Amino acid sequence: MIERVRAVLVTADDTMLVIRRTRPGIPVYWVLPGGGVETGDESREAALHREIHEEIAGKADIIRLLHRLETDDERQLFYLARIATWSFEDRTGPEFSAEGRGEYALEEVPLTLEGLDGIDLKPEEIAHVLRGIIGAGGLGVEASR
């Protein structure tokens, strides 16, 4: 089974970092930073730290597991994390230089229902989960600052 880790990265301005994906022949969509767990990763959290470093040259403080999405062949773990610094220009992930992968752009989106409604966040289940949490009063990261 393929295992992936992704992060809802909350900034000091209470925005969320997302990656806008533009690929030929496919409508634009957004994803959360993260990727596959590799055999050399000591833990899922270590894999997430590695992926955040590769994708946005950032360092995050993981707060908690937010959601688990599982199919027959894939498990995705979504973590809630705070991030203070990042540099998309200094990313090192191999996917950025792969031919035919399309474009990647880092964006900050308000952590509001309106912010989520303004993007097509994939997978749809995590967008639905985030809408429910935000609609119920927020992610609860304020106390962890």
pLDDT digit string, tens, across residues 52-75: 999 999 999 999 999 999 999 999
The full 3-state SS of the chain, as one line of letters, equals CEEEEEEEEECCCCEEEEEEEEECCEEEEEECCEEECCCCCCCHHHHHHHHHHHHHCCEEEEEEEEEEEECCCEEEEEEEEEEEECCHHHCCCHHHHCCCCCEEEEEEEECCHHHHHCCCECCHHHHHHHHHHHHCCCCCCHHHC
Q: What is the pLDDT of residue 130?
A: 96
Q: What is the pLDDT of residue 143?
A: 38
Q: What is the pLDDT of residue 82?
A: 97
pTM of the prediction?
A: 0.90
Tell me: pLDDT of 50 over 50: yes
Task: Find the range with the poorest average confidence among 7-11, 51-55, 85-89, 136-140.
Answer: 136-140
Q: What is the pLDDT of residue 100?
A: 63
131 Cα distance to chain centroid = 15
- CATH domain 2-144 topology: Nucleoside Triphosphate Pyrophosphohydrolase (3.90.79)
Question: What is the pLDDT confidence band of residue 144, given thresholds at 50, 70 and 90?
Answer: very low
pLDDT digits (tens, 9 = 90+) for 69-127: 999 999 999 999 999 999 988 887 666 555 567 889 999 999 999 999 999 999 999 99
